[in-house]
Amino acid sequence: MVKRSEHTAVLDIGKTHVKLNIIDHQNQIVFSRQMSNNVDYSQAYPCVDEDRIWRWFCETMQDASSTFSITRLTTTTHGATAALVDRNRILEDGLVMPILDYETKGIFEQSKFYDEIRPKYDDTFSPNLPAGLNLGRQLYWLNDNYPEKFKEVTDILMYPQYWVWRLTGKCYGEKTSLGCHTDLWSVKNNNYSDLIENMGWQSLFPPVKPAWHECGPILPYIAQELGLTEACEVYNGIHDSNASFLRYILIEDKKPFTVISSGTWTILMASQVALNTLQQEKDMLANIDALGQPVACARFMGGREFELICKQAGSWLGEQFDEKDVQGVIDNSVFALPDFSDGSGPFGGKKSEFIGVVDRVSGIALATIYCALMIDYQLELLKAEGTIYIEGAFLKNPMLCALLQQLRPNQTIALSADNTGTVLGAAYLTRWHKVTGSIEVNQPALINVTGLDNYKQKWLQYLSKL
């Protein structure tokens, strides 16, 4: 096959899967591979298996570069993750300590004094979250438990920028990852928060550059290993949910809208919502978008909760069900009550339970209704207006999208015509000054489930007693 120019590679590291996609000049994905993203439990603490990711990335990029001429490369990753590196060890992986997995149990309980120094919510709009979901708490825990190793750290790099450093040797920060419930970014001051100064970490955090910043060409020996030219340009990278959101900023301009980015996490990002609407105790927060502006958000572990509801009901993610099964759950007053995520979302920490009899088929129908109701609940909390766009994993569940449209008849639900919004949003960064946004959307199927509003009110009554 003849090689073509102007291809972009996007390394997309989600909490569940790692993907490499190659995009052509028409924003079409022409190559895509993925692998599972597993936690490494063989180290001193649960951590990212970055060596496995790197080896897979190198092998997959070699395959891609044998067919496509790749001239640009960028990264997008999940949040709440950072790498503590010694920049002088770039010929290795650079890590002073393994990259801590943010779901590691015990971090919260073992860092009680952290609460005395973490910035206030109205400064960072970063709620106090369980485990290591506040990145500042992770860093505090590592500093407290491994003080001698911590002294070897020359740079603290957000997760997308760690991979940029591996590829280019350049160290930068970036706002979308810094502003993702880390406690490290002051929304009020549009700069690093006081936590960094209070901990004496000022010299460890690099200069902040935009997500579309050209970080320089790929290192020659890395280019040779990957089958790329040394002219391949590497860009600074972006937090995954913000990559999805970026496409809609470009097309909606000044109109209000909400993007629901779904995967392991379901994150609702609502434009033009005042930050004083946010409630810390409901797992609401402000993210920082690619343009550096705060965005009101609400979230829950939608993919994780969906899977666990199915599992507990004896169902599975590929179970076939239809509108009759959903109607049966409603008619029989079967409910799922949060929290199925072990601490996240608006009811984080509450004891999950089923009300009524759940079987194999009704299990996946119940999980579908639960997630639709939770999204609707969070849209109400955000007072979201305008079109609601759905991206990601929930596009594979047309019944969920249809239920959400029935729950919100006064708003338009628009379904992204592809499930690669994160990848395409990240790819935009590599042609930032030439990019023009465009999104193809579908409409959800129209259903008429009877009794849905009454069912919703009963569910809300149960929630009020939690």
Query: Quick one: DSSP state of residue 119?
Result: P
Structural domain boundaries in the chain = 7-236, 240-466
CATH class of domain segment(s) 240-466: alpha beta
In this structure, the strands spanning 257-262 and 387-392 are: parallel
Tokens 């070699």, residue? 62
240-466 and 7-236 share a CATH fold: yes
What is the pLDDT at residue 4? 53
Query: Quick one: DSSP state of residue 328?
Result: H
Integer Rg of the chain from CA: 22
Q: Rounded to an integer, what distance in angstroms lies between the CA atom of residue 18 and that of residue 14?
A: 6
Above 70 in pLDDT, residue 343? yes
- Average pLDDT rounded to a whole number, residues 5-13: 93
Burial tier of 462 (Cβ tally within 10 Å: 0-12, 13-18, 19+):
middle
Q: Model confidence over 433-450: pLDDT tens digits? A: 888 777 889 999 999 999
Tokens read off for 144: 């407290």
CA-to-CA separations, 213 to 71, 237, 413, 456, in angstroms, rounded: 15, 8, 33, 46
Query: Quick one: DSSP state of residue 115?
Result: G
What is the pLDDT at residue 439? 85
Tokens 């199915």, residue? 310
Q: Rounded to an integer, what distance in angstroms lies between the CA atom of residue 401 and that of residue 306?
A: 14
Q: Model confidence over 81-137: pLDDT tens digits? A: 999 999 999 988 999 999 999 999 999 999 989 999 999 999 999 999 999 999 999
**325: nearest Cα among 250, 382, 399, 387:** 399
Please state the pTM of the whole predicted model. Answer: 0.90
What is the pLDDT at residue 1? 41
Q: Model confidence over 346-366: pLDDT tens digits? A: 999 999 999 999 988 899 999
Q: Rounded to an integer, what distance in angstroms lies between the CA atom of residue 419 and that of residue 193?
A: 35
pLDDT band at 306 (very low <50, low <70, confident <90, very high): very high
Work out the widest C-alpha separation in the chain, in whole angstroms: 64
- Average pLDDT rounded to a whole number, residues 270-288: 96
Q: Is the four-CA dihedral 98, 344, 424, 445 of positive or negative sign?
A: positive
DSSP 184-251: -EETTTTEE-HHHHHTT-GGGSPPB--TT-EEEEPPHHHHHHHT--TT-EEE--EEHHHHHHHHHHHH
Tell me yes or no: is domain 7-236 CATH 3.30.420.40: yes
Q: Rounded to an integer, what distance in angstroms lies between the CA atom of residue 35 and that of residue 427?
A: 20
pLDDT band at 430 (very low <50, low <70, confident <90, very high): very high
DSSP 132-167: T-SHHHHHHHHHHH-HHHHTT--EEEEHHHHHHHHH
Above 50 in pLDDT, residue 161? yes
